[in-house]
Each structure stands twice: as structure tokens, then as C-alpha cells.
Amino acid sequence: MPSLLADYRCSQCGRCCYGWNIEADQAEFKEIILAIRKIPVEERPQPYGFDLKKTDHGKIESGYLHMRDNHCCFLQQDHRCFLHAHWGQGIKPNICISYPFYAVKTPRVIYVNSTFSCLAATKFLCKEPVYAAVWPSDQIGSRFSLKMDVASHTWVRIAPEKVIDWDSFYRFQNFMTTSNVSRAAFVAWFWHQIKECAEQNISQEKLTQILETPVINPEIKSEHIISHLQQLFQILELWEQRVQSDPELIFSIGLLKKRLGYTDKVTPEMATQYQSYITECKILSHELQEILQNYLYVHLFMTDHYFSRSLLEAMGIFSTAVALVTLIAIANIGTDTGITTDLLIDSIIEVEKYFFHSDIFSHVQTDTLDPLIFLAPFLANPSAAQANAQVLQAS
């Protein structure tokens, strides 16, 4: 992601310090504690502290910076970090220095990904993204936090019981970078192609054959919409239980249920109402759809999800995120401002922060999350989403 890496500037909004635990290792804790002990007690942030993980022998192993009022105890009223303000960014935990970027190490390539829970990073979705992210290894552990190291892995899981080799994976990633296909159409089509493939060890020749096959824009039927909403509301209810500290998000979820007439089950009338929103494209202008297309495109390079699950499961999860952002947009139809770029960006940040950084997926069977139903807003309106059938050219 050369443009984002080169042009990114922190907006000092303070959002990254809210809503989650910030982890640090033993060396980072020691440096922070020694620095704070050198200043008078009255000048220290109050209260501050650490939630520590210790070994059986009482030695500090790792832990988290203490939270206060749902934010890091070192966040000041001016939205600046107390540690950074006093001693520079070098004293902060590596995850803070690296944010919103993080690294995933594979045998031949190091991918640098970005989380879009960051306002400054999310605004790049309004531009044409370039996400072939590779960075020199000497930057890992200093500028970029190493989130996952899979360099010793022999295979990549493409589905729960199917694998490909690393050359095939790199080909898949290169194809996604260089092709002009609609990502929504490709994801839904590719997911079904792999599901139907009988091979457990998918060869490079077979993968090439799949990538060179014309993409057929799948038909969206009423049963797809009902299934789509049933799964989304199951996930929404799990999500709602975990965001009680965010009244605005709780309000949006409640407003969405009211707008679609949801009580405790999905009805055909709800499906019809939802389908009218997406097929007539009442909620999103072409520009806003492009932002969501970029959001999906970028997620296809967030490779830690591939390696912690499988390619197909990750595609279902990414598609779910796009669908949740769309639902939040639907919830706000009829407001004074309507659906604006800023509102859509805020919706993406909400989904990124409270959806991806949660245990929701431990309660959802991710290998059954069919991207066809979660990408319905794009696939049901091919003229706006450019999801017509296309013949793909192999990269």
C-alpha cells in the first residue's frame, strides 16, 4: 500500500486509544515504569496502571495498559499520549507506534496491512487503493508490529479441508492486485468455485484454471435475501451484546431493526423491504459504493485473516463487514444529513473496531458464510457496482 504508507498522517483524534486493551511486553512495561518513576507523583497521569500477565514464578510476561473511562490511562484531554508527549514515540508499546499498520510474515513476502478503525487511514478509501503491500524485513519489530509469522508454514488453507502451496497463494494475491474484475462478483464466484472443487490439495494448474474461468454474476433470489438477513441479525445481536459502552452504535442497531420491522425473526416482508433498498440503490450513491468496493478490495489483502482461518472463511468475514456497514447506512436513511461520505466512514470505523476486534466469530460457523448473500447490495445492482460477468485475464 505505497500511497497510504507514504501519505498517512495521524489526525490526533484519539479514537485508537478507546475501546480496546493495548498490549505491551515485559521490556516495554519496564521502560514505561522506569520513566514514570523519574517524574514527581503529582505530574503523573491519575490514575494510571497496568493489567499484568505473570509467569508461575511471578515474573512479568506481558499485559495491558490500564483502561480509564473506556480509554487508555495515558490518553490526555488534548487527545495526545502522555508517554509520547514526555519521552517521544519510542517509549510507547510497539503496537501503538505501528498503528494503524501491522505486518504478516510469509516465506517470501512480508505483507503490511492497515486496520480501518483509524480515521486518517479510512479516508484513503475515498481514493483508488493500491494494496500490494511489501516492506523490508528490517522494519519489522521497529516501525511495524509483527502480528503473525507464518514463514515456517508449508501450506495455506484455502478452505477448512483444502490447501494450496505458497506459489499458488502469491499468484492469487497478484491476480487480485492486477485484475480489473469487480471484487464483489469475484469473491462470490471464487468462493463457490472452491467449494465445488473436489481436490483437497489444489494444484497450481487447477487454481490457474479457476482464475481464468469467466466470472458469472450470480442471481440473487428471495431465499438468498432471507438467509442473508437471518445470518446478519444473528451476528448483529451478538455484536450488540458487546458494545453496550457505545450508545450511538446501540442506537443505530435499534434504528435498523425498527426500520426493517425486525422483532425476533426475518419475515418475507422484511426481505422485500431490504431488497428494495439495495436493488433501487436508495441508500448509496455511486461514489459511496466505490468506497465500499475499495473497503472490500483492501480487506482481500488483510492476510492475517487468511492464515488464522482459511481464504474462504476470510472472504465470508470480509463480505460480512461490508454488509454490516451497509446495514448501518440503511439505519440512518431519513436523517437530516442522509448518507454522506463522513457517515459511511464512521460506519466503517465502527465495524472495524467493534466487529473485527471481538470474539463474535467464535460463535459463528465461518465456513458457511456465503459471500453471495453478504454482497447482495453490489450483486443486485450490477450497473452501479460494475458486477457484470467478465472474462478474467490471468496475471
Looking at residue 156, what is its pLDDT?
92
Asked if 113 contacts 102 with a C-beta cutoff of 8 angstroms, the reply is: yes
384 vs 335, higher pLDDT: 335
Q: State the Cα–Cα distance between residues 307 and 314, nearest whole angstrom.
A: 9
248 vs 49, higher pLDDT: 49
pLDDT in tens, 147-168: 889 989 999 999 888 999 999 9
User: Which H or E run includes 149?
Assistant: strand 145-149
**What is the DSSP code (8-state) at residue 218?**
P
Asked if 283 contacts 329 with a C-beta cutoff of 8 angstroms, the reply is: yes
Asked if 139 contacts 5 with a C-beta cutoff of 8 angstroms, the reply is: no
Q: What is the mean pLDDT of residues 348-358?
A: 75
Looking at residue 377, what is its pLDDT?
56
Q: Is 95 left (phi over 0), alpha (psi -120 to 50) or beta?
A: alpha
The one-letter amino acid code at 215 reads V
Q: State the Cα–Cα distance between residues 227 and 218, nearest whole angstrom.
A: 15
Looking at residue 166, what is its pLDDT?
92
Closest CA to 2 of 130, 103, 144, 108: 130
Looking at residue 389, what is its pLDDT?
30
Whether pLDDT at 394 is above 50: no
Whether pLDDT at 228 is above 60: yes
Which set of grid coordinates corresponds to residue 12?
Answer: 490526533
Looking at residue 1, what is its pLDDT?
53
pLDDT in tens, 270-312: 877 777 666 555 556 777 878 887 888 777 776 777 888 888 8
Asked if 185 contacts 214 with a C-beta cutoff of 8 angstroms, the reply is: no
**What is the DSSP code (8-state) at residue 391?**
P
Q: State the Cα–Cα distance between residues 147 and 105, nearest whole angstrom.
A: 8
Q: What is the mean pLDDT of residues 190-204?
A: 89
pTM for the full predicted model: 0.77
Whether pLDDT at 38 is above 80: yes
Backbone angles phi, psi at 47, to 5 degrees: -85, 160
Give the position of cell 514463514: 151
Looking at residue 282, what is its pLDDT?
54
